[in-house]
Chain A
Amino acid sequence: QQQVKQSPQSLIVQKGGISIINCAYENTAFDYFPWYQQFPGKGPALLIAIRPDVSEKKEGRFTISFNKSAKQFSLHIMDSQPGDSATYFCAAWKNTDKLIFGTGTRLQVFP
């Protein structure tokens, strides 16, 4: 019940395309869902996050879509750029507990 399942494991997108990464969870007590971006050899950095009281959050080219009834959330990267090539982790959190991370998606954007 503590798992967060992330797919796909890897993703190849052409420059200008849309990248979509999906995550699913079981524990309905989770109330915060962040996405982290990690470049090779660096630590992960918070990219964007959402709470379950909204269905969508957009920051620039990055959008989180959240489906509470399906217990799923996804990251959409519009107009993907080579500089977006990185590993993306979804995560879930509930109060006083630890972040539960997905297994990561390696995104490669080709020019």
Chain B
Amino acid sequence: SQTIHQWPATLVQPVGSPLSLECTVEGTSNPNLYWYRQAAGRGLQLLFYSVGIGQISSEVPQNLSASRPQDRQFILSSKKLLLSDSGFYLCAWSRGTQETQYFGPGTRLLVL
């Protein structure tokens, strides 16, 4: 069966510090991978998606970047965090362009 992991689960970072969130998927190959952000009590904002190694599409211009160094690894980064980067970050995967996305447990980021 397939499993998606995210870490860390919770992160408190000062403004201006760098960020690295990691997502890995087990039990499948060549998945589509997605990063979403969810502000408190709000909907899901798609940040990035990837259809393969090194292939990243950005949905919203912002202070964040994404990379996919391996088939089942997706990394969300920032060089300098802003207060507005606080939120709940969710990684998801799907089988190719198939319609069902499976979400990870999320990382709660608080920027102070």
Task: List residues of A whose CB falls within 8 A of some B CB.
Answer: 32, 34, 36, 41-46, 49, 89, 93, 95-99, 101-104, 106
Smallest CB gap from A36: residue in B: B103
Smallest CB gap from B6: residue in A: A43
Chain A CB within 8 A of B101 CB: yes
A45 contact set on B, CB distance < 8 A: 103
CB within 8 A of A101: which of B44, B99, B105? B44
- Are the C-beta atoms of A102 and B43 separated by less than 8 Å? yes
Nearest 6 Cβ contacts at the A-B interface: A43-B103, A32-B99, A103-B43, A93-B99, A96-B97, A101-B44
Smallest CB gap from B96: residue in A: A96
Task: List residues of B whose CB falls within 8 A of some A CB.
Answer: 34, 41-44, 46, 49, 90, 92, 97, 99-106, 108
Number of A-B contacts (CB under 8 A): 43
Q: How far is the CB of A79 from chain B (nearest CB, A)?
A: 27
Q: How far is the CB of B4 from chain A (nearest CB, A)?
A: 8
- Other than the known A98-B34, A101-B43, A104-B42, what 20 A-B pairs have Cβ atoms closer than 8 Å? A34-B99, A41-B106, A41-B108, A42-B105, A43-B92, A43-B103, A43-B104, A43-B106, A44-B103, A46-B100, A46-B101, A46-B102, A89-B43, A89-B44, A96-B97, A98-B49, A99-B101, A103-B42, A103-B43, A106-B41
Q: How far is the CB of A53 from chain B (nearest CB, A)?
A: 14
Could you give 28 example pairs across A and B, Cβ below 8 Å?
A: A32-B99, A34-B99, A34-B100, A36-B103, A42-B106, A43-B92, A43-B104, A43-B105, A43-B106, A44-B90, A44-B103, A45-B103, A46-B100, A46-B101, A49-B100, A89-B43, A89-B44, A93-B99, A95-B97, A96-B97, A97-B97, A98-B34, A98-B46, A98-B49, A99-B101, A101-B43, A104-B43, A104-B44
A99 contact set on B, CB distance < 8 A: 99, 101
